[in-house]
Structure 1
Amino acid sequence: MNNLINVFLEPRDVFTSLDERNNWKDSILPIIITTVVGLASMVALGELLTEVQIQQTEKYIMGSSQIADDQKEEILAESLESIIEPSTGMVLIGYATSALSTPVRILLMSLMIMIIGNFFFGGKSSYGSILVMTSYTYMITILEALVKIPLMISQWRVNIHTGLGLLGIGEEGSFLYNFMSGMDLFAFWRIIVLAIGMSVLYRREVKPFMIALGIYWIMQTTFFSFIGSLFT
């Protein structure tokens, strides 16, 4: 339990201790915690997310040139009904998505770190060891949720920025806006801690891993910013 707290303060010591234990099961507790927080987030933000979905649906349907004007009202009514009164299956899918989003990110990030460390840097760390390090690093998302969720509720909006998004550059939904929003302090913090973890696992300096992860982060943010701008 101490490691869950100390990872924020002394990540190198925590990762060194976990590396010496060399037990993939150490990843289970942080993954469970992120799952629980994901569920709690859905409960706390359910009403707000529904309202945002309604607004986005109205904007898309009423502004679509591919839908005939005389059909828009009917299609909008049907769409809003499914949002306001979702089926049990859709509700379960929503909760499952919220609960599993961070664990899935942990699994995928662990795979990416393994590719970077083992392929590009010639290391030999196992996926289990990397998974433990990554799962503890993603405890940062818990602090992120504790900061952002209360702000979302108090300001009643989902776009809460804790990075370059505060500059308000670009039109909402545009590539530039999405990219600046992606340059988040919590994401940067994760990159730093992941680089420290990789330096422990691969017995090398932090700098090359910091550069590699920074490049990956920028490429990932660029890709998702572009995709996001296409559906606005």
Structure 2
Amino acid sequence: MSMTSGAELPVPLIPHSKSFSARILGIFIAPKSTFRTIARAPDWLGVLALTFLVNAGVWAVVFQTPVGRFALMDRWESSAIAFGQTVDDDRYAALETASERGAIYAVAVAFAAGPLLAVVLSGLLVLALRPLSSGVERVAYSQVLAVVAHAGVILALREVVAAPITYVRGALGSPLTLRLMLSGLDEGSTFARFASGIDMFVLWWIVVLAIGLSVLYRRPARGLAVRLFGVYVAMVVILVTTMAVTGGTQ
């Protein structure tokens, strides 16, 4: 996957030549050329709707099953304990009751992690990358949102993979993290927690997002990916540090 700069821009807002399905497939097999097409005609609503429906649908199905509800309840309990909270009988009963509305939870999380996150993240990227836009035709918010929305198909794929794995294992979790690739780690160690937070699908998403932004801002994708990766690692470090400070266990 090339991470070179897109030197053909600025990109005028002209009709695109790739169909919706071709753009989705292109994110996986030819992201740079696909993002050039997307930048010329920044359609974002369709792909946001698709990824939202996929994410909500796969998890709603899982959380309707006894295995899925137990996995959800177990995740809530372990998260509370990880941040130093106590889960007594009353709270456990409340979690059990809440897990019965797993389908509603799936829809809410899919909306927050999909359309809402895309809109907010796009705004933050426009502000953060404004210094890079000197000498480049003004990059519109709609173009950044379209790039973010299309990059989100990588995260949607993660959910499609994770949902059946959750059903088989009876436990929630990313299907591929750094921790799963490193054997022999002490489960409660700080590094194990950090490794659990490094998701390979998120790293893939960062690379794809960086390629899309490089097309818009005519900057090397490698440098943009390093910056995004730095932010991601910092967020994981903050999360792990918070768990350590609160004295919780995982």
TM-score normalised according to structure 1 size = 0.78
1:220 aligned residue? 235
The one-letter amino acid of 1:11's match is P
Cα deviations by residue, 1:75-131 (Å, 9 ceiling, x for unpaired): 51x33433333499x667624422212223322332332233213665642221100
Call closer, same or farther: CA 1:83–1:134 in 2, change over 3 Å: same
* 1:127-146 correspondence to structure 2 within 5 Å: 127-146=141-160
Q: Report the 3-state secondary structure (helix = DSSP H, G, I; strand = E; otherwise coil) of the residue aligned with 2:29.
A: coil
Q: What letter is aligned with 1:176? A: F
The equivalent position to 1:191 in structure 2, one of 193, 202, 206, is 206
2:171 matched to 1:151?
Answer: no
Deviation at 1:176, TM superposition (A): 2.1
Separation (CA, whole Å) in 1 of partners of 2:202 and 2:156: 12
- Partner AA of 1:158 in structure 2: L
CA deviation vs aligned residue, 1:53-72 (integer Å, no higher than 9, x gap): 5446777999xx998xxxx9
The 5 Å alignment of 1:154-193 reads: 154-166=168-180, 167-168=182-183, 170-172=185-187, 174-193=189-208
Classify the secondary structure of the residue corresponding to 1:194.
helix
Q: Which residue of 2 aligns with 1:19?
A: 39
Partner Cα distance (1:127, 1:11) in 2: 20
Residues 110 and 131, structure 1, Cα contact 8 Å, conserved in 2: yes
Alignment of 1:28-177 (within 5 A): 28-46=45-63, 47-48=66-67, 50-52=69-71, 54-55=73-74, 76=89, 78-86=90-98, 94-100=105-111, 101-119=113-131, 122=134, 124-166=138-180, 167-168=182-183, 170-172=185-187, 174-177=189-192
Structure 2 equivalent of residue 10 of structure 1: 30
CA 1:125–1:48: 2 relative to 1, 3 Å = farther
Identical-residue share of aligned pairs (%): 21
* Runs of 5+ unmatched residues, structure 2: 1-19
SS of equivalent to 1:8: helix
CA-based RMSD of the aligned residues comes to 3.2
Alpha-carbon contact 1:152-1:159 (below 8 Å) kept = yes
Which has the higher relative contact order, 1 or 2, with Cα contacts under 8 A spaced 6 or more apart? Answer: 2
Structure 2 length-normalised TM: 0.73
Deviations 1:156-190 (A, max 9, x none): 22134413111146544654223212222211111
Mapped partners of 2:243, 2:67: distance in 1: 20
Q: Flag structure 1 segments of 5+ consecutive residues without an equivalent.
A: none
